[in-house]
Structure 1
Amino acid sequence: MLMKVTGALAPSGNGAEAEALVLRRVDKSYDGVNKVVDALDLDVHPGEFLTILGPSGSGKTSLLMMLAGFEPPSGGIIEIGGRDVSRLPPYKRNIGMVFQHYALFPHLTVGENLAYPLKARGWRKSEIAERVAWALRLIRLEGMRDRRPAQLSGGQQQRIAVARALIYKPQLVLMDEPLGALDKQLREQMQDEIVRLHRELRPTIVYVTHDQSEALSLSDRVAVFEAGRIAQIGAPSELYEQPRTAFVAGFIGENNRIAGTVIASGGEFCRVSCADGAGLEARNIADARIGDRVSLAVRPERLRPAQVADEFRVEVDVADITYLGEVSRVRCRMRDGAEIIWKLPNCGQSARPERGARIALSFCREDARAFPA
């Protein structure tokens, strides 16, 4: 018999807590040759919100299916709460699951949907009633208990789906692009709701998405997937401000890429010559030497109109300007045809350039990173 839980959903245990989730050398291949997940090592801490972020085909969904028990790993070990679950079926893993399309039972009421996992685990009727009432208060849908899913909005249905995944205190909650079916406004509201629930209850969550802004706004840490491996894992600010590879720099947010050749190298920075921008400097992530071809990555919002005293500048032609409310997105071209995006704040401090104008942009060397070309 599972005991009734009235407080936070923090993992339980005696003495030092085991990691909530541990993966060691986990592989997945569907044809025995090509690996969609390749020798993956990962540790998820108790109460952590970890997002798996990556493009289609990067292996993130295959990983989630293995964590849930819907697919067996081709190799390696998966541990949940210190227990090897690599070959256990889903119902023996004590995990909660939230899907993109809600997966609520249409013939059951909201209350019955919430009660279903508790009944399956043998809870008493009095405990189920109390816990369902608690869950409805938690998600602020107390008056919806007797309604059917079809009578609810998409956002309300997803809140019920999240509450159902949390209601029995699982060791791990898996979320598979749960906001993908919602419109932009509802998606943003649900992001706030998920953050609130995680802050109040502290469940361990592994969240899968291809939406970069979603990953940055929700997560304690983000693991960026590339070709079945983790390209980089860290706090959202770390991934955005300090990408370690060109792939991460390009996938997390928008990034300009300026091709050039190293003309001086030493210490943390290198100097690069490029079309319409001789002598640019950047952090030497590539550990490049003189003569090496590199690609400078710099965020559009880090560019600014060049001043006379600025040492580093890029000459560009303004190709197009798009008004986006908070900023204007200025699309420019260098002499070699490379495109440069500049995000100009619409705060009245800077005049918007004219289409076709020749302008000079500058940036701090600390804001640029030199990767292998």
Structure 2
Amino acid sequence: MLTVTMKEQERPARSSAQSVVLRNVVKSYDGMTAVVKGIDLNVQAGEFLTILGPSGSGKTSLLMMLAGFEQPTSGEILLGGNDVSRLPPYKRNIGMVFQQYALFPHLTVAQNLAFPLEMRGWARDEIAGRVAWAMNLVRLKGLEERRPAQLSGGQQQRIAVARALIFDPELVLMDEPLGALDKQLREQMQEEFARIHRELKPTIIYVTHDQGEAISLSDRVAVFDGGRISQIAPPKDLYEKPESAFVATFIGETNRIPVRRASASLDTFQMADGRLVSAVAVGMGSSDDRGYLMVRPERLRRIAGREYLPNVLEAIVLEATYHGDNVRVRAGTITGDTELLYRISNDGNQPVPHVGEQVLLGWRTEDARAFPAS
């Protein structure tokens, strides 16, 4: 049993956060097909970076190379300026948090936390103080003598996080850490992760396919597609200023309207019914005649009275679905070639349209983006 004094409990954390640099990292398992295709990435010390992407996009393979469980086929991985590309996991000073916690079931909570310190040769009094610090960090003081089976899923995940941080790692890797929790616990743990990162500022690389986690937790998000980074940016820029149609459709919901270039103007397009609409053109070269105009549901507004918007479509309500804090409305254009989604805030100030009702929907030019069809 670990004996902890008040002085040891108050011992502050040390900061060992380091930068991470990837230079043209490639991974192939069969020597022919690359699952990670020439990744260049710079992660600042103390940054929370999330790798987001669909299954098979290469995000887990990249994480395994960072951890040392896999070696890159080519390229370099630098941690704190040192090349660790060929170092085994135990020589990298990296903390890891897995979806399934990976706690030792036969050890108490305190013993689980002490284990990585014992492996690193810490003194007994240092271990006791550090375990007390970690228990306070994750707000589970008093549960030191319980075993993992006596804890809830959320408590087990907190202990897993504490164990990853307890030895002052240079980098913390998190692989879908909230995937085994229900919605309410996931939201609570997201708040805990955010709080711990604010307090300690460790360098965290977090892998997930959950867009909500990525947007709420990260300093920056790297969206993976087909083994490459499609875009890397702060969450707000990623959501509001996507640089590709893939990112626009993968992050959140968006309306997708087929258009073609109307003139030499970069922001004017023509819908199938001949109506002219405007949007910010992204990646539309002079040879790109056809494309898609995309506008988020919350930026598509129902026009009432004399309100003016530069882009207006007549539509008929097809469905109105109650979602608690909002009503999700699906409408089809009068010509029947396009469906649109918009939301009405459930604040009691806006009437909910009925199915079959005709509405006017509009958007500002700067709230829509047009991408080439390719």
| TM value normalised by structure 1 | 0.93
Tell me the residue number matched to 1:302: 299
User: In 2, Cα distance between the equivalents of 1:132 and 1:89?
Assistant: 26
Matched to 1:294, the amino acid is G
Matched to 1:274, the amino acid is M
Matched to 1:313, the amino acid is V
Deviations 1:109-151 (A, max 9, x none): 0000000000000011111011101111111111100000000
Tell me the residue number matched to 1:10: 15
Matched to 1:10, the amino acid is S
Displacement of 1:339 after TM fit?
2.5
Decide which moves more: 346-355 or 93-102: 346-355
Tell me the residue number matched to 2:363: 363
Answering whether residue 104 of structure 2 is matched by residue 105 of structure 1, we say yes
1:117-196 correspondence runs (5 A): 117-196=116-195
Given that 1:262 and 1:288 are in contact with CA atoms closer than 8 Å, whether structure 2 keeps it comes out as: no
Deviations 1:34-80 (A, max 9, x none): 11100000011000000000011100000001101111111101111
Task: Identify if the C-alpha distance between structure 1 residues 31 and 290 changes in structure 2 by more than 3 Å, giving closer, same or farther.
Answer: closer
Tell me the residue number matched to 1:15: none
SS at 2:279 equivalent: strand
Q: 1:282 aligns with which of 279, 285, 291?
A: 279
Given that 1:8 and 1:200 are in contact with CA atoms closer than 8 Å, whether structure 2 keeps it comes out as: no
Displacement of 1:236 after TM fit?
0.5
User: In 1, Cα distance between the equivalents of 2:229 and 2:353?
Assistant: 41
User: In 2, Cα distance between the equivalents of 1:288 and 1:271?
Assistant: 14
Matched to 2:325, the amino acid is E
Deviations 1:202-222 (A, max 9, x none): 100000000001000000010
User: In 2, Cα distance between the equivalents of 1:80 and 1:271?
Assistant: 47
Displacement of 1:341 after TM fit?
1.0
Given that 2:310 and 2:365 are in contact with CA atoms closer than 8 Å, whether structure 1 keeps it comes out as: no
Moved over 6 A (4+): none
User: In 2, Cα distance between the equivalents of 1:291 and 1:187?
Assistant: 43
Displacement of 1:9 after TM fit?
4.3
Tell me the residue number matched to 1:338: 338
Task: Identify if the C-alpha distance between structure 1 residues 6 and 286 changes in structure 2 by more than 3 Å, giving closer, same or farther.
Answer: same
Given that 2:77 and 2:85 are in contact with CA atoms closer than 8 Å, whether structure 1 keeps it comes out as: yes
Deviations 1:165-216 (A, max 9, x none): 0000000000001000000110000000011101000100000000001000
Displacement of 1:288 after TM fit?
4.6
Answering whether residue 211 of structure 2 is matched by residue 219 of structure 1, we say no
Instruction: Give the unaligned 5+ runs of structure 1.
Output: 13-18
Displacement of 1:351 after TM fit?
1.3
1:317-328 correspondence runs (5 A): 317-328=316-327
Task: Identify if the C-alpha distance between structure 1 residues 122 and 280 changes in structure 2 by more than 3 Å, giving closer, same or farther.
Answer: same
Given that 2:11 and 2:129 are in contact with CA atoms closer than 8 Å, whether structure 1 keeps it comes out as: no
User: In 1, Cα distance between the equivalents of 2:28 and 2:84?
Assistant: 19
User: In 2, Cα distance between the equivalents of 1:264 and 1:104?
Assistant: 62
User: In 2, Cα distance between the equivalents of 1:238 and 1:287?
Assistant: 19
Instruction: Give the unaligned 5+ runs of structure 2.
Output: 1-7
Deviations 1:241-268 (A, max 9, x none): 11000001111111111001121343xx
Tell me the residue number matched to 1:292: 289
Displacement of 1:270 after TM fit?
1.3
Displacement of 1:289 after TM fit?
4.5
Q: Between the two proteins, what is the percent identity of the paired residues? A: 60
User: In 2, Cα distance between the equivalents of 1:34 and 1:185?
Assistant: 40
Displacement of 1:293 after TM fit?
0.8
SS at 1:194 equivalent: helix
User: In 1, Cα distance between the equivalents of 2:20 and 2:124?
Assistant: 32
SS at 1:143 equivalent: coil
User: In 1, Cα distance between the equivalents of 2:19 and 2:372?
Assistant: 37
User: In 1, Cα distance between the equivalents of 2:155 and 2:210?
Assistant: 21
Tell me the residue number matched to 2:5: none
RMSD: 1.7
User: In 2, Cα distance between the equivalents of 1:34 and 1:7?
Assistant: 47
Answering whether residue 278 of structure 2 is matched by residue 273 of structure 1, we say no
Task: Identify if the C-alpha distance between structure 1 residues 265 and 367 changes in structure 2 by more than 3 Å, giving closer, same or farther.
Answer: farther
User: In 1, Cα distance between the equivalents of 2:107 and 2:355?
Assistant: 59
Tell me the residue number matched to 2:208: 209
Tell me the residue number matched to 2:3: none
Deviations 1:328-359 (A, max 9, x none): 11112233443211111112232111112232
User: In 1, Cα distance between the equivalents of 2:16 and 2:358?
Assistant: 59
User: In 1, Cα distance between the equivalents of 2:303 and 2:111?
Assistant: 63
